[in-house]
């Protein structure tokens, strides 16, 4: 079984841990940079991206996170996690981790009170996925090699860029594990590919 970490500084950590376990992988809550070395993949959970960035800086985790990405290991960002992964965040001069070739706009779907759930069709994953939007960002534009996996109301809300998966909504808040299963399969394929090259 592959080991997938959940960045445990802030946000929906417990829900992602449960989703990873249900999808057939070992989940590890990550609070220190040294833990990244034992992982095959990493989830950046939803939460508040500004707060998460402050905590990443406080615990000196930014460079280790970028190194993790540079090693070719898969990363999955949901909501605030998508903002952390994006190479460009509108209204912000510099990115956070900045590894996914997308431009992201924050709070695209209104405030907390405007939260909603909508069934979405997800390319390569399936139909009628219950997508929960809470102060969600959206992907404004994607690079040439980025695969759009879902759109809602003309806006990209799920995309894959090589080893990176970014999602506007909160799949961990539902009983439907198809997106997490998709990410676990990405991680498994990455591990198998590395073993084949050894």
At 27, which CATH number? 3.40.50.880
User: Looking at residue 114, what is its pLDDT?
Assistant: 67
Whole-prediction pTM value?
0.95
| Total domain count, the chain | 1
Please report how the helices 49-58 and 62-70 are oriented relative to each other, as an axis angle in degrees rounded to 10.
100
Domain that holds residue 105: 3-197
Catalytic residues: 79, 170, 172
Task: Give me the residues of the chain with pLDDT under 50, please.
Answer: none
User: Looking at residue 197, what is its pLDDT?
Assistant: 83
User: Looking at residue 198, what is its pLDDT?
Assistant: 77
């Amino acid at each position: 079984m592959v080991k997938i970490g959940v960045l445990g500084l802030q946000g929906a950590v417990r829900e992602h841990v449960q989703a990873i376990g249900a999808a057939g992988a070992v989940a590890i809550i990550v609070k220190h940079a040294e833990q990244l070395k034992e992982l095959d993949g990493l989830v950046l959970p939803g939460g508040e991206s500004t707060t998460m960035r402050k905590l990443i800086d406080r615990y000196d985790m930014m460079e280790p996170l970028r190194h993790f990405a540079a090693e070719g290991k898969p990363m999955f960002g949901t909501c605030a996690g998508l903002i952390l992964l994006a190479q460009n965040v509108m209204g912000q001069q510099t990115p956070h981790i900045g590894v996914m070739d997308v431009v992201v706009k924050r709070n695209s779907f209104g405030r907390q009170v405007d939260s909603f759930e909508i069934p979405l069709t997800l390319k390569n994953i399936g139909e009628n996925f219950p997508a929960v939007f809470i102060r969600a960002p959206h992907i404004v534009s994607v690079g040439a090699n980025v695969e759009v996996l879902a759109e809602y109301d003309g806006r990209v809300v799920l995309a894959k860029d090589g080893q990176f998966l970014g999602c506007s909504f909160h799949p961990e808040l539902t009983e439907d594990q198809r997106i997490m299963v998709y990410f676990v399969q990405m991680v498994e394929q990455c591990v198998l590919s590395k073993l084949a090259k050894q």
